[in-house]
């Protein structure tokens, strides 16, 4: 029997081990360890302080919510992906605000995420009413979106770079190709295939096979689908690092040693408690839920940005030196909710 234990050993305890005397058992341990930079400590500071900001907002505390000048000046996402404004809208207003039939859950989730813009979803609802697969008509959706573009509206979020899909579907406008992409997925009954997937990686590979969807987007879409009741994968099961995370990893470590980028992300999730304690940081997790792989992946994206100001002498892969988005505080309370299967006490979110 072969056991790969390399991804399950705490960072502080990573030491080369000799082969066991039991000839039937071989344990593969990575011998060359990651070598951290000063940004490694900033990663944990950012996670802790950003989570402190979250809870101050959650408790309706008046700002400013932090003394960190970088966090007060620039925009950073939450330590937990599901706490971000767009994810909260997806949960409150898209996933759990309509038909829970599998085909509708998948259709609404993918329709929202392909544009990833709250205003686009609200426009479609305003013009077309209840959004379900049964009521979907290409001509009507295309007309609303085309008119919005012609009036000068931006219908896509800038968070993800979305390929146009023209080479795959042949339409002149990106949104038209993405509507055809959803039609293709629905025609394949992808939602049923995802329900029957035996692992998170298997589900990811089902999404990855579609035109215009690369590895990073496939993983992000799967995380969003996994907020629904269609699937119930453990967020600690599988991770795919995106470009921003790779930049952050490069800044946090002089060398990855024998570790892949995915190994590094898993390591961070597994050592979180000891690192917060070691650095004297009081990290208040999300109602008992520790940082998951997706959260640690996202935090690498954020520490890449943070380091541009805090540690400008440490270069990443992209060569970016500025943070584009500044922080514009809003004091409007947010009605938070999370997937019911996470088991949070719902009374915590009743304001």
The confidence score (pLDDT) of residue 153 equals: 96
SS (H, E, C) the chain: CEEECHHHCCHHHCCCCCCCCCCCCEEECCCCCCEECHHHHHHHHHHHHHHHHHHHHHCCCCCCCCCCHHHHHECCCCCCHHHCHHHHHHHHHHHCCCCCCHHHHHHHHHHHHHHCCHHHHHHHHHHHCCCCCCCCCHHHHHHHHHHHHHCCCCCCCCCCCCCCCHHHHCCCCHHHHHHHHHHHHHHCCHHHHHHHCCCHHHHHHHHHCCCCCCHHHHHHHHHHHCCCCCCCCCCCCCCCCCHHHHHHHHHHEEECCCCCHHHHHHHHHHHHHHHHHHCCCCCCCECCECCCHHHHHHHHHHHHHHHHHHCCCCCCCCCCCCCCCECCCCCCCCCCCCCHHHCCCHHHHCC
Long-range contacts of 202-205 (CB under 8 A, 24+ apart): 203/231, 203/233, 204/238, 204/240
The confidence score (pLDDT) of residue 27 equals: 52
Which among 208, 178, 180 is positioned nearest to 193, based on CA atoms? Answer: 208
Which residues, in sequence order, are CB contacts of 222 under 8 Å at separation 6+?
Answer: 200, 203, 204, 207, 231, 233
| Strand 26-28, strand 2-4: pairing | parallel
Which among 349, 312, 351, 296 is positioned nearest to 37, based on CA atoms? Answer: 312
The rounded distance, in Å, linking the Cα atoms of 179 and 192 is 19
- What angle (nearest 5°) sits at the alpha carbon of residue 3, between those of residues 275 and 292? 35
The confidence score (pLDDT) of residue 5 equals: 35
The confidence score (pLDDT) of residue 23 equals: 47
The confidence score (pLDDT) of residue 166 equals: 86
Q: pLDDT of the chain along its 351 residues, tens only?
A: 333 333 333 444 443 333 444 445 545 566 799 999 999 999 999 999 999 999 998 987 777 889 999 999 999 999 999 999 999 999 999 999 999 999 999 999 999 999 999 999 999 999 999 999 999 999 999 999 999 999 999 999 987 778 888 889 999 999 999 999 999 999 999 999 999 999 999 999 999 999 999 999 999 999 999 999 999 999 999 999 999 999 999 999 999 999 999 999 999 999 999 999 999 999 999 999 999 999 999 999 999 999 999 999 999 888 888 888 787 766 667 789 999 999 998 788 875
289 forms bridges with which residues in the sheet? 286
Say whether 94 sits in a helix, a strand or coil. helix
pTM for the predicted model, two decimal places:
0.89
In this structure, what are the phi and psi dihedrals at residue 269, rounded to the nearest 5 degrees? -65, -35
The rounded distance, in Å, linking the Cα atoms of 227 and 170 is 32
DSSP summary character for residue 314: S
Taking each helix axis from N to C end, the angle separating 174-187 and 138-150, rounded to the nearest 10 degrees, works out to 160
């Amino acid at each position: 029997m072969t056991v790969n234990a390399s991804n399950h050993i705490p960072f502080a305890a990573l030491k080369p081990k000799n082969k066991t005397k039991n000839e039937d058992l071989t344990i593969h341990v990575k011998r060359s360890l990651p070598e951290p930079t000063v940004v490694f400590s900033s990663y944990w500071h950012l996670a802790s302080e950003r989570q402190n900001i979250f809870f101050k907002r959650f408790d309706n505390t008046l700002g400013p919510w932090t003394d960190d000048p970088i966090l007060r000046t620039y925009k950073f996402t939450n330590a937990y992906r599901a706490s971000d404004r767009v994810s909260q809208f997806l949960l409150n207003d898209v996933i759990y605000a309509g038909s829970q039939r599998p085909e509708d859950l998948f259709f609404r989730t993918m329709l929202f995420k392909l544009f990833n813009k709250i205003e686009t979803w609200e426009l479609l609802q305003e013009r077309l009413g209840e959004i379900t697969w049964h009521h979907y008509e290409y001509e009507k959706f295309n007309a609303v979106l085309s008119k919005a573009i012609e009036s000068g509206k931006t219908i896509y979020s800038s968070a993800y770079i979305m390929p146009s899909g023209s080479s795959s579907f042949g339409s002149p406008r990106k949104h038209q190709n993405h509507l055809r992409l959803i039609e293709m997925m629905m025609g394949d009954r992808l939602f049923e295939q995802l329900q029957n997937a035996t692992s998170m990686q298997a589900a990811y590979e089902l999404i990855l096979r579609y035109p215009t969807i690369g590895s990073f987007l496939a993983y992000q879409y799967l995380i969003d689908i996994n907020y629904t009741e269609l699937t119930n994968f453990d967020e600690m099961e599988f991770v795919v690092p995106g470009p921003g995370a790779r930049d952050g990893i490069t800044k946090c470590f002089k060398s990855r040693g024998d570790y892949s980028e995915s190994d590094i992300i898993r390591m961070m999730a597994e050592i979180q408690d000891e690192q917060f304690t070691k650095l004297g940081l009081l990290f208040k997790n999300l109602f008992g839920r520790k940082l998951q792989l997706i959260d640690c992946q996202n935090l690498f994206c954020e520490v890449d940005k943070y380091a541009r100001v805090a540690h400008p002498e440490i270069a990443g892969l992209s060569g970016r030196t500025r943070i584009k988005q500044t922080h514009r505080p809003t004091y409007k309370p947010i009605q938070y909710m999370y997937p019911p299967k996470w088991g949070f006490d719902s009374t915590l979110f009743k304001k």
